[in-house]
Amino acid sequence: MIDMWKFTLRRILIMIPQIILLSILIFILAKMMPGDALTGMIDPNVSPERLEELREKLGWNDPWHIQYADWVGGLVQGDFGQSFRFKMPVTELIGERIVNSFWLSVATLIFTYLIAIPLGILSGRYNDSLLDQTITGYTYLGFATPLFIFALVMLWVFGFMLGWFPTSGSVSPGSEPGTFAYVMSKINHLILPAIAMALIATVNTVQYLRSEIIDTKQKDFILTARAKGASESRVYNRHILRNSLLPIAAFFGYEITFLIGGTIFVETIYNYPGMGLLFFESITLRDYSVVTAVVLLFGVAAILGALLSDIILSLVDPRIRIK
């Protein structure tokens, strides 16, 4: 167990330079983007002198390392700065959006595993049957289909043609927060994007589970179990499944990384105001403080996801606790 803690601690220590490097990269890249939040405002009714005055006042003309120091200074106090375009603190803005993304991610994960586990088990248990080939066929299709096209097709079919689901937003206009109708409306709005994302995200897990099961099936202890006269369902449910699911659990952390990439597309298509849409908007608006904050959070989430995976994996399989 001591080993375990040592490993975790070491893993966390490695994260620190990772995050520092990440923050520098993000900041420089954001500043390298052509234009700033005021460039888009080339408008005869807005005077360029005023824009220059604002740039000076907001410190956008300072050298990058001074701006970086200011930014990091705020970060350690939990202050991401002020969004220029939204005219509100970035922390507050992200707080507003992250809730939406969180629930969308949770729903996506639930759907992902709801689909992946039965399909993976069926496919692994009856491998090389027609059923298996169908499922594998689906996973290949899933690999090949770009999420942003698939999401658009889903929106068109289930949103517009059949009209089963709302087509944009995260809640019906005018719903009263806190009421039952509000919660139902929220859920109703996230089902379609979550399913669209899950149908694509799940194919990895299905494949993974399938090959794990096929692999385990041939292990000696399964032969032993069979030889002892255990029933087929007992062999599968107790012996094979247990052993095959462990690596899937470890894979969970990496799912987070996929979710981040996925939400950017899905939220844009469904006009679902979460972090992905915020990321996209802040780049088009050149709202630096928001861009850097969102990307930093994404980066940290990805690093934490990897950490989580490693920890789960090391719990499951002590061999990988590298010295």
Partner 1 sequence: MTKTSLTKWLFALMLAMVLVLAACSGETGSEDPGDDEDTEEPADNEEGTEEEEEEEPAEDDGLFSIDDFSMDKTNQGEAIDGGSITFGLVSDTVFEGTLNFNFYSGNPDYEVIAWFDEPLLYTDENYTYTNEGPASYEISDDGLTFTLTIKDGVNWHDGEPVTAEDWAFAYEVIGHPDYDGVRYTSDFANVVGMEEYHNGEADSISGIEIVDEKTLKITHHETGPSMVTGGIWSYALAKHIFEDIPVADMSSSDAVRKNPIGMGPYKVDSIVPGESVVYKKNEDYWRGEPKLDEVVLKVVAPETVVNELETGGVDLVNSFPVDQFPDNADLSNVEYLGMIDNAYTYIGFKLGHWDADAGEVVMDPDAKMADVNLRKAMWHAVDNDAVGNEFYNGLRWNATTLIIPFFPDYHDETIETPTFDPDEANRLLDEAGYADVDGDGIREDKDGEELTINFASMSGGDTAEPLAQYYIQSWKNVGLNVELVDGRLLEFNTFYDRVEADDPGIDIYQGAWGTGTDVNPDGLYGRTASFNYPRYASEENDRLLKEGNSEAALDVEYRQDVYKEWQQLMVDEIPVFPTLYRSVLMPVNNRVLNYTIAPGEYIRHEIAVSEEEPLVAE
Binding site for partner 1 (CB under 8 A): 33-35, 38-48, 50-51, 54, 57, 82, 85-89, 96, 143-144, 146-148, 152, 155-156, 159-160, 163, 167-176, 265, 268-269, 271, 273, 277, 280-281, 284-286
CB-facing half-sphere around the CA of 273: CA atoms within 13 A = 11
CB closer to partner 1, 11 vs 55:
55
CB closer to partner 1, 172 vs 211:
172
Give the span between the Cα atoms of 305 and 251, in whole angstroms: 9
Q: Give me the least distance between CB of 73 and partner 1, in Å please.
A: 20
Closest by CA position to 121, among listed 250, 253, 217, 226: 217
Q: Give me the least distance between CB of 184 and partner 1, in Å please.
A: 15
Q: Give me the least distance between CB of 210 and partner 1, in Å please.
A: 17
Those residues with Cβ within 8 angstroms of residue 312's Cβ, 6 or more apart along the chain or in another chain: 249, 250, 252, 253
Q: Give me the least distance between CB of 250 and partner 1, in Å please.
A: 20
Place of tokens 């220590």: 13
CB closer to partner 1, 6 vs 50:
50
CB-facing half-sphere around the CA of 174: CA atoms within 13 A = 0
CB closer to partner 1, 104 vs 240:
104
CB closer to partner 1, 43 vs 220:
43
Q: How far is CA 230 from CA 4, 212, 226, 236, 242, in A?
A: 35, 21, 5, 10, 15
Q: Give me the least distance between CB of 161 and partner 1, in Å please.
A: 9
